[in-house]
Copies of this chain bind each other. A is one copy, B any other.
Amino acid sequence: MAASAGPEIERLIALLAKLPGLGPRSARRAALALLKKREQLLEPLAASLAETAAKVVSCSICGTPDTRDPCSICSDGARDNGLICVVEEAGSLWAMERSGAFRGKYHVLGGLLSALDGVGPEALRVAELVGRVKGGEVREVVLALPATVDGQTTAHYLAERVAGNGVEVTSLARGVPVGGDLDWLDDGTIVQALRARRPA
């Protein structure tokens, strides 16, 4: 590393390099940009991070990071309490919200079951989900988990855990993405899209 950069800057670079999407080199560039734009970037970012660290908590009901607990979604009376969408991370939740297609509540697992990484149910917010389902108000649990091995393993596990409480467990449809060209689709997706074909 650059001895001349000084310990504070090297520490900043090391921390930036831990962000997904940034490596050692791009972290150095980022640190440089921060040092060049003190008023516009460095100081606002420092303040924003401090504010986030101070204010943002994860919702005690669904696990979404928010400044209020229960979060703005859980405390939104206009949303359907009978419908719970289970997502891996807040990122998926934000994506669902951008789509504007879902008007129920959410449950953020905080990860996926993974034999390789040794992630078991106790590491995820599974017990909380079962608790919410046993609460009685829930009619349907929509599993919006990634179409990966871990994602599907987790989905099957959750379906079993949640079953038998008079709840319907569904999961997002698989198929050709909007604008998806068959030439570019993997076989798995085509197989799924064909199996799930419907009258045009």
Contacts and interface: CB of A to CB of B under 8 A. Distances in A.
Interface of A: 1-6, 8-9, 11-12, 15-16, 18-22, 26, 28-30, 32-38, 40-46, 48-53, 55-56, 64-67, 71-73, 89-91, 93-95, 97-98, 110
The 10 closest A-B pairs by CB, nearest first: A2-B94, A46-B49, A21-B26, A19-B30, A46-B50, A4-B97, A15-B45, A12-B48, A35-B65, A20-B29
Number of this chain's copies in the assembly equals 2
A74 to B, nearest CB: 10
A49 B42 contact: yes
Contacts of A4: 64, 66, 71-73, 93-94, 97
A28 B98 CA distance: 13
Q: Which of A29, A35, A37, A48 has the most CB of B within 10 A?
A: A48
